[in-house]
Structure 1
Amino acid sequence: MKRLMLILPSTTYRTHDFMAAATKLNLDLVVASDHRQAMASLIPDTTLALNFRKPEEVVHRVQEFHQKKPLDVVIGVDDTSVYLAGLVSEKLGKPHNPIPALEAARNKFLMREKLQKARLLSPGFQRYSISQRVSKIAKKTNYPSVVKPTFLSASRGVIRVNNAKEMENALEFLKELLSSPEVSSRAYGKEAREVLVEDYIPGLEVALEGILVKGELKTLAIFDKPDPLEGPYFIETIYTTPSRLPGYVQREVIHTAWRAARALGLEQGPVHAEMRINEDGCWVVEIAARSIGGLCSRILRFTQNITLEEVILRAAIGENIQDIQRESSAAGVMMIPVEEEGILKQVKNVERANAIDGIEDVIITIPNGQELTPMPQGGKYLGFIFARKKTPEEVEQALRKAYQQLEIAIEHRVKF
């Protein structure tokens, strides 16, 4: 039985799905997290608490664990844990992506440098210290532009600006966001004091889910994003697959994603790429060395009812995944956005939404009584709606109908 260590943040939605996949594959699973597991004392040697803020300490602690309970594979699930898993694997002599590639995959400025050097279509970009004079940055910027943190995901802190005044407002907002302990604790080095400014890329946006095996990209799905993402904020909502784009455009998307992975130096494991398509070609918005976030992976089903998490684990332990193919039916997910600030009282009519033809499940992931913070300041969705039908058009329609059924009751705080 192979022993696999899964490094994951306590905030991830995906613990259950990865554990189910590991059980199905008969793996001896060790869960390493930034939070001590409640059952750790009852089931020793199956969990490990780590301080993600100190990579050297993470490597040392896992190495100590490895000496007692040898590990075969170490993987992560999000940008930070994937990077930490790479550091650990390098120390243990286990398969991993090159560390510079993982650093570029989680830092948007380093990623832009590598993509530009590889001569992929690239917007103009510049990294600034958040301590620089706001007016000076605003004067240097071409408009429209997008300003964003270098290390956050899920469009958090990403803002389109059309003029100097909007840039000044966006930078002041980002100063406050990056100074919050919850955000700054995720940064390494100077990342919490830096922003990336890049030219706005117009066009249709898609996402590609794939997995690298010895440097070759196996495409698992291309997702259309039918809702326009034009700013000022880039709140993702609906993903549908298979893509409705012409075959030649899909081939360009796949080739661009492979070139981007190669440019970063990625060689193995999952990749999730966001791209925009316009008359000039296919542009990489970003590419990450991880799979799709949240619960979105649940819309992907493969040969013999295999999940995306199982595909990832099979590849990690060296199994041949080339014959695994996605099911033929169309599928989609809607990430339910947080549109208002306040305290969540209740999400009503979930049963009614579930009853819409084609809807598989509606999951509300924020409990009643918790505070809601909209994007771009917040980093969580209210929940997820999953659909499966014959065509992506029918999937999109079902998702929209289900969302329309929901009534979200929010208690608004009185501001003095």
Structure 2
Amino acid sequence: MASRAAQALGLPHNPPESARLARRKDLARARLRAAGVPVPEFRVVDLIRPVVPQCAGLDFPVVVKPLMLSGSRGVIRADDGPALEAACRRLHAILEQEKDAAPGERTRALVERYLPGVEVAVEGMLSGGRMETLALFDKPDPLEGPFFEETYYVTPSRLPRTVQERIRRRTAQACAAYGLCEGPVHAELRVDGAQAWILEVAARTIGGHCARLLRFGTGLGLEELVLAHAVGRALESRAGAGAAGVLMIPIPRAGALRRVEGVLAAQRVPGVEEVEISVREGYELVPLPEGSSYLGFIFARGPEPAVVEQALRQAHACLRVVTAPLWKIAAG
């Protein structure tokens, strides 16, 4: 919708079809493959029918993904046939609650070969088809399943410069394949040896409070960057010294939140700038793969990435999440 509105107003924009590709995982995979960008072997399956026969020839382990959800919601690893059928049943139950899903998005899913390797995130800004990298984040926690909850983001990356450049080139290649040419992009990749694999490229900024880290990488706020691009104004980036990171505090279990203990101790950890608990007491906590939010965020800075990561881990260890059972009463 935003792409069509910008098109009608004569503003810089991505073609509506490109924006659609960035939203739909199945269409994106097919476009990348057609453009010669390496993609894992995949199938688009009908969740109403048995899934294993539809994935004949696809080696395990595999990852089941919804066509359009974000934030790792509904993404499940399966190591064999029974696990694949169970994962698809669970995803189907999630999708049935998505009232705004387009036709077919509640009954179909992407199943693709699991990709080993380290995971990274790229924040970029496109202008006339040229991508400027704003930040490259390491994700130091191994994301191996069965669910893929993002936790730590640390910048600058500790990967070798040659690998970082490979990541940037692959992200730009994917943007070109989609036809994206203007505005912010958020990309997720896995790096395995000499290969950088695209997990997704979204035509949007980094989500939620994590956008604060862009100020460290560029010296500019997210809103400044997006608005400056929209009006065609060039801004000079001023990368900060040292390193910065965020922990998206995971939800440990389902239930009603009673309290989070240890926040003051976490805030006193050297290097920690802020501990923010986003969920209010009494609210329901829903972990992945059904959930779509975090308990809160911890922000830290330090002289180097390893120090920042350690500060975040130490602060997280201070927290104790107290929950109570949630009793749901059916209407009628």
The TM-score with structure 1 as length reference comes to 0.76
Q: How far is 1:141 from its partner?
A: 3.9
CA distance in 2 between partners of 1:304 and 1:211 (Å)? 12
Q: How far is 1:413 from its partner?
A: 3.5
Equivalent position of 2:275 in the other structure:
362
Residue 104 of structure 1, aligned match among 14, 21, 25: 21
Cα 1:382/1:185, change in 2 over 3 Å: same
SS of 2:225's equivalent?
A: helix
In angstroms, what is the RMSD of aligned CA positions? Answer: 1.7
Q: Determine if the alignment matches structure 1 residue 330 to structure 2 residue 243.
A: yes
CA distance in 2 between partners of 1:137 and 1:366 (Å)? 40
Maintained 8 Å contact 2:154/2:246: yes
Give the letter aligned to residue 28 of structure 2.
M
Residue 205 of structure 1, aligned match among 114, 119, 123: 119
Q: Determine if the alignment matches structure 1 residue 117 to structure 2 residue 34.
A: yes
SS of 1:127's equivalent?
A: strand
Maintained 8 Å contact 1:138/1:164: no
Residue 384 of structure 1, aligned match among 297, 314, 318: 297
Q: How far is 1:90 from its partner?
A: 1.9
Equivalent position of 1:230 in the other structure:
144
Equivalent position of 2:197 in the other structure:
283
Equivalent position of 1:255 in the other structure:
169
CA distance in 2 between partners of 1:188 and 1:297 (Å)? 29
SS of 2:20's equivalent?
A: helix
Q: Determine if the alignment matches structure 1 residue 270 to structure 2 residue 187.
A: no
Give the letter aligned to residue 112 of structure 2.
E
Cα 1:117/1:311, change in 2 over 3 Å: same
Maintained 8 Å contact 1:107/1:150: yes
Maintained 8 Å contact 1:138/1:168: no
CA distance in 2 between partners of 1:186 and 1:339 (Å)? 28
Map Cα deviations across residues 245-303 of structure 1 (whole Å, 9 max, x no partner).
Answer: 11110000110110011110000101111111112411101111111112111122258
Cα 1:146/1:304, change in 2 over 3 Å: closer
Residue 104 of structure 2, aligned match among 190, 199, 222: 190
Q: Which structure 2 segments of 5+ residues have no match?
A: none
Give the letter aligned to residue 89 of structure 1.
A
CA distance in 2 between partners of 1:135 and 1:116 (Å)? 23
Equivalent position of 1:350 in the other structure:
263
Residue 402 of structure 1, aligned match among 305, 315, 329: 315
Equivalent position of 1:54 in the other structure:
none
Residue 246 of structure 1, aligned match among 139, 143, 160: 160
Maintained 8 Å contact 2:45/2:51: no
Maintained 8 Å contact 1:150/1:195: yes
Q: How far is 1:190 from its partner?
A: 1.9
Maintained 8 Å contact 2:74/2:94: yes
CA distance in 2 between partners of 1:108 and 1:340 (Å)? 28
Maintained 8 Å contact 2:117/2:190: yes
Give the letter aligned to residue 16 of structure 2.
I
Cα 1:265/1:199, change in 2 over 3 Å: same
Map Cα deviations across residues 111-170 of structure 1 (whole Å, 9 max, x no partner).
Answer: 101111111111011112222224533656421111110100010000111100100100
Q: How far is 1:415 from its partner?
A: 9.3
Maintained 8 Å contact 1:272/1:288: yes
Q: How far is 1:304 from its partner?
A: 8.8
Equivalent position of 1:319 in the other structure:
233
The count of residues paired between Structure 1 and Structure 2 equals 329
Q: How far is 1:185 from its partner?
A: 2.5
Equivalent position of 2:6 in the other structure:
89
Q: How far is 1:306 from its partner?
A: 2.1
Cα 1:153/1:385, change in 2 over 3 Å: same
CA distance in 2 between partners of 1:329 and 1:282 (Å)? 26
Equivalent position of 1:221 in the other structure:
135
CA distance in 1 between partners of 2:218 and 2:86 (Å)? 51
Q: Determine if the alignment matches structure 1 residue 176 to structure 2 residue 93.
A: yes
Equivalent position of 2:43 in the other structure:
126
CA distance in 1 between partners of 2:304 and 2:179 (Å)? 36
Map Cα deviations across residues 35-69 of structure 1 (whole Å, 9 max, x no partner).
Answer: xxxxxxxxxxxxxxxxxxxxxxxxxxxxxxxxxxx
Cα 1:304/1:274, change in 2 over 3 Å: closer
Cα 1:409/1:302, change in 2 over 3 Å: closer
After the TM superposition, which segments of 4 or more aligned residues of structure 1 sit over 6 Å from their partners? none
Q: Which structure 1 segments of 5+ residues have no match?
A: 1-83
Q: How far is 1:89 from its partner?
A: 1.5
Give the letter aligned to residue 218 of structure 1.
E
SS of 2:106's equivalent?
A: helix
Structure with the larger RCO, 1 or 2 (CA within 8 Å, 6+ apart): 2
Equivalent position of 1:393 in the other structure:
306
Equivalent position of 1:310 in the other structure:
224
